[in-house]
Structure 1
C-alpha cells in the first residue's frame, strides 16, 4: 500500500514539473515495480505494458483517429458548417446555435473534442466574430460544444473503455447518441437565454435552395456514422473493421471532393501515427500502474468499501462522477479513463450496474474535465483561437459547464436515457 501511495505522489510531482502525463505515470509505475522486484523491473514492466496494448479492439482507435483527421483536413468543416447554418442559423442565437449543431454533426465524423475545437472551432469563432459576437462568448460556446464529439459515435474514448471493461462497443456507440443529442439540445436552450439578453445578433433566414444545396454537399459525409454504427450493430463488421472502413471511406470522399491530393495523406499519416504513439504510451503506462494497484489489493478494498457504503446504483454513480470530475481537473481524460476503470469496475459489478451505463457516465464526466483548469486542454486551444485569456474563457464557459453537468446528472438518475437505444436495437427488455 505504501508503495502505491508513493507512486501516486510521484505522478503528481512529475506532472507538476510539466512531465508529459504518460511519461509521469510510466516512471512512477516503474519506480513502484523496482521497489518490489529490484532488477526484474525491466522484463516485468515490458511484459505488462505490452499486454496492456495487446488488444484487437484497441486497433480501432488509430483508424477512427485517421478517419477524423482526413475529414478535418479536407473540406468537411465548411460543408458541415454550411448545412448547420442553413438548418438553424435563423433561430434565436443565430451562429451560436449553428456552432452547437455543427459540433453535433461533426461528432459523427471525428468523435474527437480536440478535432472539433481545432478544425470546426476555428471557422466558427472567425464567423461569429465577423458577425459581431463577443470573442469570449464565441470561444465559450465553441469550447462547450466541442466535448459532444466523444459522445456521438465514432468515439476513441468509447473504444478504449470498451476494451478495458469488456463492454460491447456497438452498445456503447448506440448509448452515446441520446446523451450527445441531449448535450446539444441543452446548450441550444441556454443560447436562447443569451439571445433574450441581447447577446446574440439575429441572422436572416436562408432560402430553401440553400438548404437543399448544403444538404446535398454534406450528405455523403453524414453517411459515415451510419456506416460505422450500422456495420457494428448488424454484426457485419467488428469495431476494428468498421474503423478501417471509415478511414477508407473518408479517404475516398476526400479524393472525390478533391479536398486532398494523394500527397496530402503523408502528413496526415505522420500526425495520426504520432498521436497513436502518445495514446498507446498512455495506455501502456497506465496498464503498468494498474498492475501495481491490482497487486496491492486496493481494488478489492475499494470495491468492498463502496459497495458497503452506498445503498443504490445511483449513489455509487454519483460518487464515481464526483471522483471523475475531480480527477479531470488534473489529468487528461484518456489517462484518467485507463487508470480509473480497472479500480472502479469491481464495485460497479458488485452493485450490478450496467457496464454500458457506467461507461457513458464516466466518459462524459471525464470529458467535462477538458473544460476545467488547470489541465483543461480545450480551454487553452480555444483561448488561442478566440484570442482571449484562459481566465476570460473559464468565466464564459462556466454557465455552459453547469448545463453539461445537469445533463450528466440526468443520465445518472434516469439510466433509460442511455440504455433505450441499445436495448431496442438488440431486442432486450426495458431497462430498470
Structure 2
C-alpha cells in the first residue's frame, strides 16, 4: 500500500498540484485502499496543527507583512546603500545586505525573493548590471532569510522535535551571517571583473540618518530574539508582540500604515497562514501513515547499514536533502523528512540543534539549485530572464552556499556556540 501513497503523491506533483493537496490526495487514496475509516483524516490533521508554538507562525507572517507594507524594505535598502553603495558593484552588496537585515522580519526565502527582487532587480538593471546577475544575486541572498532569526522553518523544526525555539534561533545566527558574507565576497569579485558601477561615498551624517530610519525595524528582531531567550515571553507571545510593535512603528514612526493597507496585510497573511496550516495538517497525516508502514525505521536501518560513521551519514543526509530541496518547498520537506532523519542523526551522536540547522540550510540551498529551484523561478520572472541564464549566473553563489553548508556540517560549534553561550 505504501507504493500507492508514493505514486499518487509523485503524480500529483507532476500534475502541478499544490504540495498540501498532493499530500492530502495521496493520504486519502491510501486510507480508502487500506480500508481505514476516513474519520482518521480530520483527527490526524487537527492533532498536527493543535500545537501552541505553531500559533506563532501567523503572528510572524502578519508582523513581517506589516513592516514591509509600512516602508521597511525601502528603509533597509537606503541604509545599506549608504553603507556599501560606494564599493564596486555596491548595489549587489546592498541587495545581499538588505536581505540579511530583512531576513529577520520575513523569515522565508520566497517572500524575500519576491519583496526584495521587485525593488532591487529593476534598480540593478537600470544602473547597468546584467539582468541574469541581478536575478541570481537576489535569489541567492534570499536563502539567508530562513537561517537568521526569527525563522519560520526553525519554528517548524522545533515543533517537530520538541527543541527550544530560542536555541534554534540562536543556532542559525552565525551560519546565516557566514552565508551572507560569503555571497558578498563572490558578488564583489564578479562586480570587479565586469566593472559594475558604484555610487559616491555617503557622508557620516547620511549613514547615521539611514541607521536611525532603519533602527526601529531592526529593534523588532532583537526584542523577539532576546525576549524568547530571556524567558520574558514564549514564541507565540513574541509573535503577538511583534504584530503590535509593527503596527505602532508602521503607523506612527514610518507613517505608511493606514486602515486600508492593514486590511490588505491581514487578508494576505490569512491566506498564507491558512495554506501553511493545511500543509502542516496533511503532513501530519502523511507522517502517521509512514510510521504505521515502518518507513522511518527502514530508512534509518538502510542508512546506518551503509555506514555508522557520523560524517558519512551526514554526507548522505545532505545529498538527500539538497535533492529534495530542489523540487519541494522547505516547510513541506521539513514536515515529511525531518523527524525521520533526526533519529538517524541522533543515532550517530549528532546534536539535534546542530542537525536542525543542517537540515534547514540544505533545504533552502535547494531553493536556488537548478533545475527547479523555486527562488530562481521567482527572480527570473521578475527580471524577465530565462531560468537557464539565471541558473548559470547563480552557479558561483551556489558553490559558496555549499561551502558554508560543509563548514556548518563539519564544525558543530558554528551552530552550537551561541546557544551554549546564552543557556549555560
TM range (shorter): over 0.9
Alignment of 1:26-425 (within 5 A): 26-38=24-36, 40=37, 42-256=38-252, 257-425=254-422
**Displacement, 1:155?**
0.8
The C-alpha deviation readout for 1:246-304, integer Å capped at 9, x for no partner, is 11111111111211102211111111111111111111111111111100112122223
Cα offset, 1:374, TM superposition = 4.5
Structure 1: distance between partners of 2:195 and 2:388: 20
Q: 1:306-328, CA deviations, whole angstroms, 9 ceiling, x for partnerless residues?
A: 23432332222221111011111
In the alignment, the residues of structure 2 paired with residue 346 and residue 425 of structure 1 have an alpha-carbon distance, to the nearest angstrom, of 26
Q: How far, CA to CA, are the matches of 1:28 and 1:74 in structure 2?
A: 41
Q: Deviations over 1:17-70 (max 9, x none)?
A: 1111110111101211222234x1x21111111111110011111111111111
Query: The residue matched to 1:371 in structure 2 has which SS?
Result: coil
SS of structure 2 residue aligned to 1:282: helix
Q: Which residue of 1 aligns with 2:14?
A: 16
Does the C-alpha gap of structure 1 residues 245 and 415 become closer, same or farther in structure 2, counting only changes over 3 Å? same
Name 1:5's counterpart in structure 2.
3
- Kept in 2: contact 1:300–1:346 (CA 8 A): no
Distance in 1 of aligned mates of 2:335 and 2:48: 10
Deviation at 1:341, TM superposition (A): 1.3
Q: Deviations over 1:347-381 (max 9, x none)?
A: 12222321111111101111112113444221221
Residue range with higher mean Cα deviation, 349-358 or 53-62: 349-358
Number of equivalent positions = 423
TM-score for the superposition, normalised by structure 1: 0.95
Q: Which runs of 5+ in 2 are unaligned?
A: none
In 1, Cα distance between the equivalents of 2:175 and 2:107?
14
- In structure 1, stretches of 5+ residues that fail to align are 428-432
CA separation in 1, counterparts of 2:69 and 2:114?
10
Alpha-carbon deviations, 1:103-156, whole Å to 9, x = none?
101112221212221222221112212211111111110110011111111111
Distance 2:195 2:141 in 1: 18
Runs (4 or more) in structure 1 with deviation over 6 Å come to: none
Distance 2:379 2:304 in 1: 40
Q: Which residue of 2 aligns with 1:430?
A: none
Check whether the contact 1:71–1:110 (CA below 8 A) recurs between aligned residues: no
Aligned partners of 1:331 and 1:375 also within 8 Å? no
- Cα deviation 1:404-429 (Å, max 9, x = unaligned): 111111100111111110011111xx
Structure-2-length-normalised TM-score:
0.97
Deviates more, 1:27-36 or 1:95-104: 27-36
What is the rounded CA distance, in whole Å, between the counterparts of 1:399 and 1:9 in structure 2?
36
C-alpha contact (below 8 Å) 2:408/2:415 kept by paired residues: yes
